[in-house]
Structure 1
């Protein structure tokens, strides 16, 4: 993970996990069990990780001169459940 792309991959995986925990564990517990605490915690963690992902994506964009289409694809992947895992697989092939 010493390269900027490796760091992007690492942040993407952690951000993707936080997204899935929020979506499939915290939100159902909020509505099924009336326990909103996990949504508040994981929502904030996920938000910080998302911002870090976007900042790292901008750094990678400029350092590696990625085409705009690739940057937009990576950004859209970060908005979809499991999207960062698909992105990671594609980035692994590039390394």
Structure 2
């Protein structure tokens, strides 16, 4: 698997995990009202991973020669929680990394 596609896969997964952390942090901040530590921690992490995901979509699109519509869909999937996972599986689901022993 080309490096750009591998990095896109890792960043898409990490971006979804950061969404989970941010949502849990928002739950504790706004529902439980026990402080905003989770948002302070996961907010910047998610922001960085969001930017990396957008960059990863563009790099993977160039490597895999995705159409403009696919690129727009991939970029749109950066916004709703966890859709980066759906998009990554849609685009790279059949692409597996070789197993090394």
The answer, yes or no, to whether TM exceeds 0.5 is yes
Q: Which residue of 2 aligns with 1:27?
A: 26
As a proportion of its length, which structure holds more helix? 1
Q: Which residue of 1 aligns with 2:67?
A: 67
Using the TM superposition, give the Cα deviation of residue 60 of structure 1 relative to its aligned residue in structure 2, in angstroms: 1.8
Contact 1:9 1:91 in 2 (8 A): no
For residues 38-95 of structure 1, the C-alpha deviation after alignment (integer angstroms, 9 at most, x for no partner) is 1011000000011111112122222332111001111111211220121122123342
TM-score by length of 2: 0.81
TM-score by length of 1: 0.86
Instruction: Give the number of the structure whose alpha-carbon radius of gyration is greater.
Output: 2
Q: Which residue of 1 aligns with 2:90?
A: 90
RMSD: 1.7
Larger mean CA deviation between 39-48 and 84-93 belongs to: 84-93
Aligned residue-pair number: 94
Structure 2 gap ranges (5+): 96-101
Using the TM superposition, give the Cα deviation of residue 35 of structure 1 relative to its aligned residue in structure 2, in angstroms: 0.9
